[in-house]
Chain A
Amino acid sequence: MTNLTLSKAINQGLRRALEDDPKVMIMGEDVGRLGGVFRVTDGLQKDFGEHRVMDTPLAESGIIGTAIGLALRGYRPVCEIQFDGFVFPATDQIVSQLAKMHYRSQGKVKLPVVIRIPFGGGIGAVEHHSESPEVFFAHTAGLRVVACADAADAFAMIQLAIASDDPVIFFEPKRRYWDKGEVDTAAPLEDALPLDQARIVVAGDDVTVLSYGPLVRTCAEAASAARDDGRSIEVIDLRSLSPLDMETIAASVSRTGRCVVTHEAPVYAGLGAEIAARVTERCFYQLEAPVLRVGGFATPYPPARMEDHYLPDLDRILDAVDRTFNF
């Protein structure tokens, strides 16, 4: 076991993927000499060379478009989009090309491209640096969309994403990059939890709280606080946003009878809406209360001095938990 920050754990996962498969390559803005603005790719270009860890021109559509071409040639590109709000220039290549090529070609073309995106707020950034665009991609058939939440899981998840023959949008909780955790860097990948499965982070009996990415830690903290009040919260880290692991979700909610979903992205037409609908279909007779959602407001991401109001925090999550007991 090694104590690593989340960013270093991803770095170690990338390093292992580069070592294991000569077709894996990393590309993006400032990922080489600088090691990425969050240093996630630190040291990789020095060890694997400019052909495998490539500083690209400053053009997001170009990054994804050429990654598609490289994948057609047999490579496995891992692209970095520097910040969540900068992915939109690449949306056409992601949605119209990357997601659909396998379908259009009736399986003759596989595009094993990973797109890493640091996402979410809470770091006091200027606009376009704190967004949560995951639903745009979850809504797009042909993509897998995942979010990691802690160091140990991130180490495995990035390798699983690279090994996937489907394109994967890989969200990294940027405000948790510096959170440390114990990582078993010698663990075989075969033993890792599959990429499309959710995991129970905190076991509980009274209410299920679902989240992913940066809010998983917040939910765990909420569960601790609630325990002091005699309330047992089960916290589930979804990990995969597309597809959703409805088996794990429905099994939990069927037991607890209550469900709260929380994410930083706006509540309106967010992932929570999809989950609420599916939980209602699957667990209708077990539910003691409607599925409640806690998330960003129907506003643009606000300036940093207001972001604490926008971001779901421990209190807002517990407030929703309380409300599920008032029906």
Chain B
Amino acid sequence: MTVETGGATTVAPQDSELIQLLTPEGERIENPDYPLGDVDLKGMYRDMVLVRRIDTEAIALQRQGELGIWASLLGQEAAQIGSGRALSPRDMAFPSYREHGVAWCRGLDPVRLLELFRGVTSGAWDPEEHKFHLYTIVIGDQTLHATGYAMGIQRDTAEDEAVIVYFGDGATSQGDVSEAFAWASVYNTPVVFFCQNNQYAISAPQERQSRVPLYHRSRGFGFPGVRVDGNDVLACYAVTKQALRAAHEGQGPTLIEAFTYRMGAHTTTDDPTRYRLASELEAWRLRDPIERVRSYLARSGQANAAFFEQIEAEAAELGARIRAACRELPDPPPMAVFDHVYTGANAILDAERADYEAYLDGFEEAAR
């Protein structure tokens, strides 16, 4: 038996089943199984550029001490915007903690994400308002929440609704993800499992998680799995659209493995030079999710220089807005630490709140 000791991942998976509709060079490929109707590719380009700008700004804000930490999505824009745009307004999304692009597609102000990473809130947006659940940090837990939510959709006989849940390659090793696969399968729930395989769980490469390609995992549970080029926004869109359609039509769950690459660090606290080679990153740069769309749009005459300049200007404006908004986020008042633990009164907690308030008031009285 040989013991693998990690190492470089394959840039292009050897699997012929990889679904790709736009090559890294920006060539359109037709696939009869995934016909593209009218798609707003310019809109997708715009979204990807804007969320990359959000990401760049957030990293800078962390370096300046304005954020405690940030989990970068650099390199995963196509997987998130493609799948996020495939959702209907009534579909529900359950993110992990890196789905800033999906948040963008669901209409969530990026400043709400900055609040979380600044430590002002734990991400207190209204999940139902945006059809976008709170970020989930414990790896894989949200796959069960998504499956349960989909069981609720079945009970409500709401055929026009489905659920998508995001998780990473590392999460596939978690028991909860296997449990979610089992439940979704036996109850045939309308849920799409969207795994962004960005090749690393912090430092651990994908081969530390699985001996088989991740999209094969669903086979043993009895539902289909597909692997898509996660850096191809059109393919991610088309494959997700089809999986959601199957869910809406009562055909049950699908696993999508979006084969992509985390071009940045795991978070701003991480140093990827300790576990991967610069050459690997360079190879993936040639597969950049945004550049291929730009090439295609320009070459096919769908967009001109003015369009690209306008998007750049929009990105600069967005960056300035969230930068300013982040710096202006006030710290919550001290007594807010006690809020919303329970839905109503709680004698023990209420007594602690009263004690602490009196303690703080003591300082004010002393200062008078």
A binds B: yes
Interface residue ranges, A against B (CB under 8 Å): 25, 51, 56-57, 59, 61-62, 64-75, 89, 92-93, 96-97, 100-110, 141-142, 144, 164-166, 196, 242-247
CB-based contact B179/A165 at 8 Å: no
Secondary structure at chain B's binding surface: helix, strand, loop or mixed?
Answer: helix
CB-based contact A109/B152 at 8 Å: no
B347 shortest CB reach to chain A, Å: 5
B70 shortest CB reach to chain A, Å: 19
Beyond known contacts A65-B180, A107-B340: 14 more, CB 8 A cutoff: A57-B182, A62-B180, A65-B176, A66-B145, A70-B152, A73-B156, A105-B122, A105-B123, A105-B134, A105-B340, A107-B339, A165-B343, A246-B347, A246-B348
B357 shortest CB reach to chain A, Å: 18
CB-based contact A62/B182 at 8 Å: yes
- In the bound complex, CA of A71 to CA of B155 (Å): 12
Q: How many residues of B contact A (CB 8 A)?
A: 43
A5 shortest CB reach to chain B, Å: 31
Chain A, Cβ-Cβ closest to B350: A243
CB-based contact A61/B176 at 8 Å: yes
CB-based contact A106/B347 at 8 Å: no
Chain A, Cβ-Cβ closest to B154: A51
CB-based contact A102/B180 at 8 Å: no
Q: Restricting to B101-138, which residues have a CB under 8 Å from any CB of A?
A: 121-127, 133-134, 136, 138
B146: Cβ under 8 A from any A Cβ: yes
CB-based contact B141/A242 at 8 Å: no
CB-based contact B134/A73 at 8 Å: no
**Count of A-B contacts judged by CB separation below 8 Å:** 145
Instruction: Specify which of A56, A106, A165 is in contact with B339 (CB 8 Å cutoff).
Output: A106
Whether A166 touches B343, Cβ cut-off 8 Å, given contacts A66-B147, A103-B122, is yes
- In the bound complex, CA of A322 to CA of B342 (Å): 40
User: What are 14 of the A-B contact pairs (CB < 8 Å)?
Assistant: A57-B186, A66-B183, A69-B146, A69-B150, A69-B152, A70-B148, A93-B176, A96-B138, A101-B134, A105-B123, A105-B126, A141-B349, A166-B343, A245-B347
Chain B, Cβ-Cβ closest to A73: B152
Whether A61 touches B179, Cβ cut-off 8 Å, given contacts A104-B122, A109-B127, A109-B134, is yes
Chain B residues near A68 (CB-CB < 8 A): 144-145, 148
CB-based contact B341/A242 at 8 Å: no
Chain A residues near B308 (CB-CB < 8 A): none
Chain B residues near A71 (CB-CB < 8 A): 148
Chain B, Cβ-Cβ closest to A274: B348
Closest 7 CB pairs of A and B: A69-B148, A65-B144, A73-B152, A66-B148, A62-B179, A104-B122, A106-B124
Chain A residues near B35 (CB-CB < 8 A): none
Chain A, Cβ-Cβ closest to B144: A65
B10: Cβ under 8 A from any A Cβ: no
B228 shortest CB reach to chain A, Å: 25
Chain B residues near A74 (CB-CB < 8 A): 152
B359 shortest CB reach to chain A, Å: 16
Chain A, Cβ-Cβ closest to B186: A57
CB-based contact A73/B149 at 8 Å: yes
CB-based contact A69/B147 at 8 Å: yes
- In the bound complex, CA of A108 to CA of B339 (Å): 12
- In the bound complex, CA of A246 to CA of B351 (Å): 11
B175: Cβ under 8 A from any A Cβ: yes
CB-based contact A69/B141 at 8 Å: no
- In the bound complex, CA of A59 to CA of B156 (Å): 24
Most buried by B among A97, A144, A166, A242: A97
